[in-house]
């Protein structure tokens, strides 16, 4: 193979993949949280679930992204395994739209489409408009890449070695393996099918040989979801197994049909002489027919996945150990190995929310313990307080790492805007834990110096503890009316501020009356400051949540 041919192929492939990524990013950004909300709510009916899965995948142009989102929902308990079956079936139908688009003869206007999209990105500053501009630019770049690959492949028609190699794909097993491996490497069945269409248009592969490679791409696309389920719970792994079984069953059925019946001749007769359309039509037929055949057996697929991946005591114990650290730990490790894919930001906003609420719950527990430690002058609370604070710090580090990695790989769209707010929330949650630890740290001084608080001071500290806990608990349970919810928390924070001022004045009066010592007055003031700062951080968290829900 001439080096210029190889370079041309690589350049065309790079543009094709980059165009697909731009389109997907733009579509996901334009869709925002809507596609996630639809997936969460409209999956109770099997037929509706298939339609929703197909529709979402048509919008974001990636069955891998849809499946990854479903894996995340199942992992977080927001979707059952049976509901996931229908979404996966629909996703396999929806992904065929890309091949149908590629089969359209719009190569002449592709540069113009790309130019319009890039011009909007460069000359207009509206973020929402940028999502649609990315779709246009990506669409144009995708076809430019295909044209470039097609031009680079023209000389290969005269290469006997290459033609002989492509002819071998008429062997079903070889064709399926090649399609599976290539798709697993680039992690996009849409891109693999597009490249196959380019080969067909260049006359380098016949339709009867291409169908087996096509079937293999459907199996290879399962790799993305398999990677996404690494470290996830058992049901999430079963979800990816169902995806894999669906495509393997479909491949077996269609391979038998193509070998024993003239199904390829029938599909070719629909669009004679247009091989890219023939490949797109076979791709669509494969997924629609497989879905129709397997819809009655969807629940049985879920049961089979459960039989293949049963629960075990050992796995349950392992999940508990992971949960004690952080469910996000596995996702951080996965991203270190390059497993950040389209759709991840949409999935893990839910996991982030759960983890941050767990941080807040731990911080709230420490506020209770630190108050008891101070009032009782009991240092025995310190071990548990410090252990909990270490857990909060570890969770903060893990969440921060994960958010950073998501933002590196995806820096636009509603989901990413939400994740940026989560970054602010987790920092404030960690600071609440720090202030609780500060309060507990005064116990040693109280004990060493023999400081005794008056009954009035103890009553005031109890009231401060109660309002602070109430504010933290309120921020963990959002209301439908976010404006009213935020105003309630703001009122609590203001009450904490007012109480801080009032209680300082009261304590100064007690000191003047000789009811408490000067040392007790200074330490009491420090305690009030820590409680008041906790209120500030709670309000910061509430404001960040309100931005997420009203954006």
Residue 302, pLDDT > 80, answer yes
pLDDT of residue 293: 92
Q: Which helix (H) or strand (E) holds 543?
A: helix 518-550
Contacts of 292 by beta carbon, 8 Å cutoff, 6+ apart: none
Residue 367 burial by Cβ neighbours in a 10 Å radius (0-12, 13-18, 19+): buried
How far from each other are the two terminal CA atoms of the chain, in whole angstroms?
53
382's tokens:
């310190």
CATH homologous superfamily, domain 330-550: Phosphate transport system protein phou homolog 2; domain 2 (1.20.58.220)
Q: pLDDT (tens digit, 9 = 90+) per residue, 128-185?
A: 788 788 878 887 887 787 677 767 766 666 666 655 665 566 788 888 888 888 888 7
198's tokens:
């380019």
- Rg, Å, the chain Cα set: 30
Report the candidate in 231, 222, 211, 229 with the shortest Cα–Cα distance to residue 189. Answer: 222
pLDDT of residue 339: 46
> What whole-number distance in Å separates Cα of residue 155 and Cα of residue 438?
73
- 310 sits in the region (left: phi over 0; alpha: psi -120 to 50; else beta) called beta
Q: pLDDT (tens digit, 9 = 90+) per residue, 458-513?
A: 888 889 888 988 998 888 888 778 888 999 999 999 999 999 999 888 888 887 77
Sign of the C-alpha dihedral computed for residues 310, 316, 321 and 327 taken in this order: positive
> What whole-number distance in Å separates Cα of residue 343 and Cα of residue 410?
10
Residue 330, pLDDT > 60, answer no
> What's the mean pLDDT when you consider all of the chain?
78
Q: pLDDT (tens digit, 9 = 90+) per residue, 48-72?
A: 888 888 887 776 666 766 776 777 6
Residue 456, pLDDT > 70, answer yes
CB 28 within 8 Å of CB 409: no
> What whole-number distance in Å separates Cα of residue 37 and Cα of residue 129?
22
> What whole-number distance in Å separates Cα of residue 134 and Cα of residue 89?
28
Question: Who has greater pLDDT, 169 or 299?
Answer: 299
Residue 251, pLDDT > 90, answer yes
In the chain, CATH 1.20.58.220 sits at 330-550
Three-class DSSP category at 497: helix
**Least-confidence region, from 74-88, 262-276, 291-305:** 74-88
Question: Who has greater pLDDT, 537 or 105?
Answer: 537
Burial track 10-41 (b if 16+ CB lie within 10 A, e otherwise):
eebbebbbebbbbbbbbbbbbbbbebbebbee
> What whole-number distance in Å separates Cα of residue 479 and Cα of residue 253?
50
pLDDT of residue 128: 74
The mean pLDDT value for 183-197 works out to 76
388's tokens:
């909990």
> What whole-number distance in Å separates Cα of residue 547 and Cα of residue 414?
11
Q: For residues 194, 189, 290 and 247, what is the CA-based torsion angle, rounded to 10 degrees? A: 150
As a whole-number percent, the residues of the chain with pLDDT over 90 amount to: 9
Residue 446 Cα distances to 159, 373, 437, angstroms: 88, 10, 15
**Residues for the chain: how many in total?**
551
pLDDT of residue 329: 52
pLDDT of residue 446: 79
pTM over 0.75: no
385's tokens:
């307080």
Kindly state the DSSP code that residue 327 receives in the 8-state scheme. T
């Amino acid at each position: 193979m001439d080096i210029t041919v190889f370079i041309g192929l690589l350049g065309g492939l790079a543009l094709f993949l980059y165009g697909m990524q731009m389109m997907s990013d733009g579509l996901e950004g334009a869709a925002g949280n809507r596609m996630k909300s639809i997936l969460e709510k409209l999956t109770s009916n099997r037929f509706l679930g298939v339609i929703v899965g197909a529709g979402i995948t048509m919008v974001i142009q990636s069955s891998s992204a849809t499946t990854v989102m479903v894996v995340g929902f199942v992992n977080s308990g927001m979707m059952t395994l049976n509901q996931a079956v229908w979404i996966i079936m629909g996703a396999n139908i929806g992904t065929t739209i890309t091949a149908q688009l590629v089969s359209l003869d719009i190569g002449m206007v592709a540069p113009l489409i790309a130019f319009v999209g890039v011009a909007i990105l460069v000359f207009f500053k509206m973020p929402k408009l940028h999502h649609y501009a990315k779709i246009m630019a990506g669409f144009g770049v995708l076809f430019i890449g295909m044209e470039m690959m097609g031009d680079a492949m023209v000389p290969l028609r005269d290469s006997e070695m290459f033609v002989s190699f492509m002819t071998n794909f008429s062997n079903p097993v070889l064709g399926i393996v090649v399609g599976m491996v290539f798709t697993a490497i680039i992690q996009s069945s849409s891109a693999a099918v597009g490249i196959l269409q380019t080969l067909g248009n260049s006359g380098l592969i016949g339709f009867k040989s291409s169908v087996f490679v096509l079937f293999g791409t459907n199996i290879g696309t399962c790799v993305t979801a398999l990677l996404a389920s690494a470290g996830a719970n058992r049901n999430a792994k079963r979800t990816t197994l169902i995806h894999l079984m669906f495509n393997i069953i479909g491949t077996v059925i269609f391979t038998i049909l193509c070998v024993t019946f003239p199904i390829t001749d029938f599909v070719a007769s629909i669009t004679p002489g247009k091989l890219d359309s023939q490949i797109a039509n076979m791709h669509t037929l494969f997924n629609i027919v497989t879905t129709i055949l397997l819809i009655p057996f969807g629940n049985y697929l879920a049961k089979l996945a459960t039989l293949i991946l049963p629960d075990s005591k050992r796995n349950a114990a392992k999940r508990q150990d992971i949960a004690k650290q952080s469910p996000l730990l596995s996702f951080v490790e996965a991203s270190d190995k390059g497993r950040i894919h389209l759709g991840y930001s949409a999935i893990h906003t839910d996991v982030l929310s759960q983890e941050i609420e767990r941080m807040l719950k731990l911080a709230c527990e420490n506020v209770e313990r630190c108050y008891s430690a101070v009032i009782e002058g009991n240092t025995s609370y310190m071990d548990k307080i410090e252990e909990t604070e270490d857990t909060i710090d570890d969770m903060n580090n893990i969440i921060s790492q994960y958010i950073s990695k998501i933002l590196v790989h995806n820096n636009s769209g509603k989901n990413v805007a939400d994740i940026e707010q989560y970054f602010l929330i987790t920092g404030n949650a960690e600071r609440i834990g720090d202030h609780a630890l500060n309060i507990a740290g005064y116990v040693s001084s109280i004990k060493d110096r023999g400081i005794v608080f008056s009954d009035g001071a103890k009553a005031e500290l109890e009231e401060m503890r109660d309002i602070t806990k109430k504010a933290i608990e309120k921020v963990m349970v959002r209301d439908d009316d976010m404006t009213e919810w935020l105003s309630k928390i703001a009122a609590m924070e203001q009450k904490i501020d007012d109480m801080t001022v009032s209680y300082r004045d009261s304590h100064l009066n007690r000191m003047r009356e000789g009811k408490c010592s000067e040392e007790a007055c200074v330490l009491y003031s420090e305690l009030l400051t820590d409680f008041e700062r906790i209120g500030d951080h709670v309000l910061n968290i509430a404001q960040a949540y309100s931005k997420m829900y009203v954006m």
